[in-house]
């Protein structure tokens, strides 16, 4: 199931068009390395039902025992969804997984699938039952409202996305080091320009990046000695996942704190 949406960007230097990072089964982070199993215990695999089987399409973060945060573009079509918690290798049952059906999908009301550059690429999934929290399944820490991280703040993207643009697949969760690119840099005309809004976070821009299949997953940033989910993976350049000066773009979680709390209480 290939779903790539393109946005026409009419700005200086013909900036690349954004491309969503939702994709077909088993596709991985570009660059980076295989993560230690269950070292990102809030990472989930969002899967859809097709022909009697479930297939990975996006990532997400467990933010309450019965709530998952993901990207709006992952769930703006009507499907039967499930969330897999505690997974590492999508092709192997390691005995740590928890499988949860999704009872409700809440997409940000301002999300417009025809205009990714307007932002609001965030959604919440209510699970049909509560996860059992343990050493393999834990809740993500979310940032305080409005917090913006400085340039080069250390972060990692995690996900089951492509390992290269159009490249080979790997079933294991990967991680890649993507330091924050601050707003003033990311909006320069030779970077993303006006495509990026202040409700977004840019990270990376070099060899490593997110890619198809990573959408909705977390940008895990180191703040005061702990990892905090500051971003929801949203889009990359249509020129290629790891195009120079086109860092991976994330929905900035701290810009949506009040919306999140209004939904989950």
Confidence of residue 265 (pLDDT cuts 50, 70, 90): confident
Backbone φ, ψ for residue 43 (5° rounding): -70, 130
Q: Please report the pLDDT score of residue 195 as a whole number.
A: 94
Examine the residue annotation and report whether 182 is marked as an active-site residue of this protein: no
Q: Does residue 229 contact residue 59 with C-beta atoms inside 8 Å?
A: no
Q: Write down all domains in the chain, each with its CATH number in brackets.
A: 43-138 (2.40.10.10), 140-254 (2.40.10.10)
Which is catalytic among the residues 45, 56, 73, 209? 73
Please determine, for residue 154, whether its predicted confidence score (pLDDT) is greater than 50: yes
Please determine, for residue 11, whether its predicted confidence score (pLDDT) is greater than 60: no
Burial class of 55 by CB neighbour count within 10 A (0 to 12, 13 to 18, 19+): middle
Q: In whole angstroms, what is the distance from residue 138 CA to residue 218 CA?
A: 14
Q: In whole angstroms, what is the distance from residue 100 CA to residue 97 CA?
A: 10
Burial class of 91 by CB neighbour count within 10 A (0 to 12, 13 to 18, 19+): exposed
Q: Higher-confidence residue: 139 or 9?
A: 139
Q: Higher-confidence residue: 31 or 76?
A: 76
Q: Higher-confidence residue: 80 or 209?
A: 80
Q: Does residue 208 contact residue 32 with C-beta atoms inside 8 Å?
A: yes
Over residues 238-256, the pLDDT tens digits come to 777 767 888 999 999 999 9
Please determine, for residue 1, whether its predicted confidence score (pLDDT) is greater than 60: no
Examine the residue annotation and report whether 73 is marked as an active-site residue of this protein: yes
Q: Please report the pLDDT score of residue 93 as a whole number.
A: 92
Q: Higher-confidence residue: 205 or 83?
A: 83
Confidence of residue 122 (pLDDT cuts 50, 70, 90): very high
Q: Please report the pLDDT score of residue 50 as a whole number.
A: 96
Examine the residue annotation and report whether 8 is marked as an active-site residue of this protein: no
Which is catalytic among the residues 170, 209, 215, 237? 215
Helical H segments across 156-222, by residue range: 183-186
Over residues 101-110, the pLDDT tens digits come to 999 999 999 9
Q: Higher-confidence residue: 70 or 21?
A: 70
Which is catalytic among the residues 121, 170, 209, 214? 121
Kindly report the average pLDDT of the chain as a whole number: 85
Helical H segments across the chain, by residue range: 183-186, 257-264
pTM of the entire structure? Answer: 0.88
Strands of the chain (E only): list them.
Answer: 18-20, 33-34, 43-50, 53-64, 67-70, 81-85, 98-107, 123-127, 155-159, 174-177, 180-181, 200-203, 218-223, 226-237, 248-252
Q: Please report the pLDDT score of residue 212 as a whole number.
A: 67
Please determine, for residue 16, whether its predicted confidence score (pLDDT) is greater than 50: no
Over residues 191-208, the pLDDT tens digits come to 999 999 999 999 987 666
């Amino acid at each position: 199931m290939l779903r790539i949406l393109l946005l026409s960007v009419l700005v200086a230097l013909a900036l690349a068009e954004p491309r969503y990072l939702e994709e077909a089964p088993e596709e991985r982070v570009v660059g980076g390395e295989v993560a230690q199993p269950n070292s990102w215990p809030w990472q989930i695999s969002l899967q859809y039902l097709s022909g009697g089987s479930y297939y990975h399409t996006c990532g997400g973060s467990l933010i309450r025992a019965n709530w998952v945060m993901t990207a709006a573009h992952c769930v703006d079509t009507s499907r039967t969804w499930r969330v897999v918690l505690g997974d590492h290798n999508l092709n192997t049952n390691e005995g740590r997984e928890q499988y949860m059906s999704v009872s409700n999908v809440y997409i940000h009301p301002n999300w417009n699938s025809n205009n990714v550059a307007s932002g609001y690429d965030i959604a919440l999934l209510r699970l049909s039952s509560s996860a059992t929290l343990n050493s393999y399944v834990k809740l993500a820490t979310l940032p305080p409202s409005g917090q913006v991280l400085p340039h080069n703040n250390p972060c990692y993207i995690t996900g089951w996305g492509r390992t290269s643009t159009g490249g080979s697949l790997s079933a294991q969760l990967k991680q890649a080091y993507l330091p924050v690119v601050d707003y003033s840099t990311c909006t320069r005309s030779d970077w993303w320009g006006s495509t990026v809004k202040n409700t977004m976070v840019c990270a990376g821009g070099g060899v490593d990046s997110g890619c198809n299949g990573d959408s909705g997953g977390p940008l895990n940033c180191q703040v005061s000695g702990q990892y905090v989910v500051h971003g929801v993976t949203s889009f990359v350049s249509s020129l290629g996942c790891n195009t120079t000066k086109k860092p991976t773009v994330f929905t900035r979680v701290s810009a949506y704190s009040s919306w999140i709390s209004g939904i989950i209480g």
